[in-house]
């Protein structure tokens, strides 16, 4: 966030009757919303291969278009679900770090384990 946005949020929060703990929580949520970094689950076909298929958790489908992928706010959440869905190694699911800046999705880093 830039300083003018920080100051505006601080001014608006100060006008409310909130405890210091509530103010901390609101500021944390505001930072999370403005952070463009998210995580997606993907699989490589063939393993270690050239094609990457991104997971849409709501209907458990894969597509080569990153815009269909389910976004996770934390790497920990994405890894936990990838591990749970991988099960007995029928499918090796991996996590990628992406940015959602300017309404676009771009992969910053693919993790291979």
- Does residue 36 contact residue 104 with C-beta atoms inside 8 Å? no
Q: Is the pTM of this model over 0.95?
A: no
Q: What is the DSSP string of 49-84?
A: SSEEEEEETTTTEEES-GGGSPPBS-HHHHHHHHHH
**Residue 1: band (very low, low, confident or very high) from pLDDT cuts 50, 70, 90:** very low
Question: What's the pLDDT at 13?
Answer: 65
For 17-62, how does the pLDDT look when each residue is reduced to its tens digit (9 = 90+)? 888 898 888 888 888 888 889 999 999 888 777 889 999 999 889 9
Region of 53 (left: φ > 0; alpha: ψ -120 to 50; beta: rest) is: beta
pLDDT tens, position by position, 52-106: 999 999 988 999 999 999 999 999 999 999 888 877 555 788 999 999 888 889 9
- Give the domain ranges of the chain: 3-33, 36-110
């Amino acid at each position: 966030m830039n300083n003018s946005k920080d100051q505006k949020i601080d001014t608006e929060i100060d006008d409310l009757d909130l405890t210091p703990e509530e103010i901390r929580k609101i500021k944390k949520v505001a930072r999370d919303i403005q952070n463009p970094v998210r995580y997606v689950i993907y699989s490589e076909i063939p393993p270690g291969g050239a094609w990457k298929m991104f997971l849409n958790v709501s209907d458990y489908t894969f597509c080569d278009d990153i815009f269909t992928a389910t976004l996770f706010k934390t790497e920990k959440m994405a890894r936990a679900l990838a591990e749970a869905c991988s099960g007995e190694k029928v499918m090796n699911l991996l996590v990628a770090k992406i940015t959602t800046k300017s309404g676009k999705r771009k992969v910053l880093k693919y993790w291979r384990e």
